[in-house]
Structure 1
Amino acid sequence: MSGGYDLNLFASPPDCNFLCSVCHGVLKRPVRLPCSHIFCKKCILRWLARQKTCPCCRKEVKRKKMVHVNKLRRTIGRLEVKCKNAEAGCSVTCPLAHRRGHQDSCPFELMACPHEGCTARVLRGALAEHRQHCPHGAQERCPLGCGATLGPVERARHNCYRELREAWSWRQERSRTLVLGLLRRMREVHRTANLVRRQLAQLGGFLEEEDAMLVGAPQGEAEATPEGSMGAEM
């Protein structure tokens, strides 16, 4: 692969001083050797991996002696280039350094349809229309991450955060109602326990009185029995 820029990329033929002697393209990340010859960094590194000499003068070269030519790089960055989508219809030209920024907004850039299951690639300028009529766009998941599957009409009015907030409020109110109901039940249980405790205390006192009466009854009856039997005999 060539290390430099393709000549067809430029709006007008670049100066011959901007060309790499290895790939014959426009210099990309130019570096200068001690012998003053300039090459693309990628090209010269690939060359030096096989031979340790300059491609032009055959002088011995050490990688540590290479120097980046940043001034030349900035000069080349100001050369006018065509958009890579020129064959598709884009007529824009811009400095080489700004080429990537234009591509990120070029209406002639091919884009993949975002609908799941659709493999179509359409121009960025026609992507919005394609999405409206895409057969795979009838149902798609909420882009905000709530997990809901929405149709075109639902997507237009879907507010993920509002629905999540309403669901959270409903759950919070339900939790508050459950807690209040639990507190009421606990108070009722507490009152019932106190009532049972009092009734048990009363029952205990009553049983003690009964036990005392039962324990004292036989002695009284024993004292009264002789007189009663004698009276009965008489």
Structure 2
Amino acid sequence: MGFELDRFDGDVDPDLKCALCHKGLEDPLTTPCGHVFCAGCVLPWVVQEGSCPARCRGRLSAKERNRGLPLKRLILKLDIKCAHAARGGGRVVKLQELPEPLERCDFAPARGRHAGCGQLLLRRDVEAHMRDACDARPVGRCQEGGGLPLTHGEPRAGGHCCARALRAHNGALQARLGALHKALKKEALRAGKREKSLVAQLAAAQLELPMTALRYQKKFPEYSARLDSLSRCVAAPPGGKIRAMVLVDVTLHGDLDPWICPDVTPEIMRGAQSRCGAA
């Protein structure tokens, strides 16, 4: 998925580029074979192919990847240009500050908000255009039965005609509907990409979960056997129940704070551990 290279203010170090999409790394992941990819690029590949996307083609499972946090910190500190630089936006910010500056950028494209206005403007110019220059700005309402707003540009277009105004109004509604369909399609595409990435991450987690459960399942009998052995070793040591619990802890962890039970001497500890070893 990555960040477009021409957005960065200066050259991007090759180590900060995704080896799959060749863009600036976005949410980087590293593989055991040393390659770095965007999470959104590599996870779907690994789930489907089971190998590294780079030329080495080494076998790779979804769990064999690490978050490239140091790389991510470096990338987020890079300077990136305004996405609207072609329209005059010259602001340069740190990548970690996005997307807030884009949402407030005066050079973002915007259309006049009067019905029937099709002009594409800079966001900073919209208010002045609507107030002073837009031919679609209202100047009253039709008194001949149509009831539609009269616009500033109608006298120059031959005066108001109810039928023509209604057709224009219908056309404006159709245009707005088309714009909404386009925006909906764009959001659906973005949501689809996000869903694909999340599904890949979920698949990776599902592959990893049984392996983790199996490891703990194999360790459980060993731990149970050790606890049974310890309970036999310290069934009735001098000092009672608390002392027995201390000896269990010492045998398991090999360490004891003298403030907890000062009467448990090193000789007693070694004796408990040797008895458990013999058991």
Q: TM-score range by the shorter chain?
A: 0.5 to 0.7
For the pair 1:30 / 2:28, whether they are aligned, the reply is yes
**Unpaired runs of 5+ in structure 1?**
141-148, 153-234
Q: How many residues align?
A: 142
Length-normalised TM-score, structure 2: 0.46
CA contact (8 A) 1:113 1:119 kept: yes
Percent identity, aligned pairs only, is 29
DSSP 3-state at the match of 1:44: helix
RMSD: 2.5
Larger Rg: 1
The runs of at least 4 consecutive aligned structure 1 residues that moved more than 3 Å come to 149-152
Equivalence for 1:82: 81
Match runs of 1:124-135 below 5 Å: 124-132=123-131, 133-135=133-135
Determine the C-alpha separation between the residues in 2 that align with 1:97 and 1:120. 33
Within 2, Cα distance between the matches of 1:67 and 1:50?
A: 19
Cα distance between partner residues in 2 of 1:151 and 1:49: 58
CA displacement 1:171-199 (0-9 Å, x = unmatched): xxxxxxxxxxxxxxxxxxxxxxxxxxxxx
Q: CA deviation at 1:76?
A: 0.6
The alignment partner of 1:63 has SS state of: coil
Query: What SS does the aligned partner of 1:103 have?
Result: helix
Q: Secondary structure at the match of 2:89?
A: coil
Contact 1:83 1:99 in 2 (8 A): no
Q: Is the 8 A contact 2:136 2:151 kept in 1?
A: no
Q: Structure 1 116/122 Cα, relative in aligned 2: closer, same or farther at 3 Å?
A: same
Checking the alignment, whether the CA contact within 8 Å between 1:81 and 1:99 is kept in structure 2 is: no
- What's 2:14 paired with? 16
1: CA distance between counterparts of 2:57 and 2:102?
40
Match in the other structure for 1:208: none
Check whether the contact 1:107–1:123 (CA below 8 A) recurs between aligned residues.
yes
Aligned-pair CA distance for 1:10: 0.5
- TM-aligned CA deviation for residue 113 of structure 1: 1.7
5 Å matches for 1:220-231?
A: none
Local SS of the residue matching 1:65: coil
Shift in Å, 1:35: 2.9
Deviations 1:189-233 (A, max 9, x none): xxxxxxxxxxxxxxxxxxxxxxxxxxxxxxxxxxxxxxxxxxxxx
Pairs within 5 Å for 1:84-123: 84-123=83-122
Superposition deviation, residue 125 in structure 1: 1.4
Aligned-partner Cα distance in 2 for 1:103–1:150: 36
In 2, Cα distance between equivalents of 1:49 and 1:66: 12
- Displacement after TM superposition at 1:50 (Å): 4.5
Distance 2:81 2:116 in 1: 34
Distance, in Å, in 1 between the alignment partners of 2:72 and 2:150 is 50
Contact 2:111 2:119 in 1 (8 A): yes
Conservation of the 8 A alpha-carbon contact between 2:47 and 2:62 = no
What is the CA-CA distance between 1:68 and the residue it aligns to?
2.3
Q: Normalising to structure 1: TM-score of the pair?
A: 0.54
1:87 deviates by 1.4
- Does 1:137 pair with 2:154? no
Q: Secondary structure at the match of 1:27?
A: coil
CA distance in 1, matches of 2:37, 2:130: 46
- Kept after mapping to 2: 8 A contact 1:7/1:26: yes
Structure 2 unaligned regions, length at least 5: 141-148, 153-279
**Relative contact order higher in (CA < 8 Å, ≥ 6 apart):** 2
Give secondary structure in 1 for the equivalent of 2:11: coil
Q: Are the counterparts in 1 of residues 28 and 67 from structure 2 also a CA contact under 8 Å?
A: yes
Q: Which residue of 2 aligns with 1:48?
A: 46
Q: Distance in 2 between matches of 1:150 and 1:71?
A: 61
Any conservation in 2 of the 1:5–1:27 contact (CA below 8 Å)? yes
- AA aligned opposite 1:71: P
**How far did 1:96 drift?**
1.1
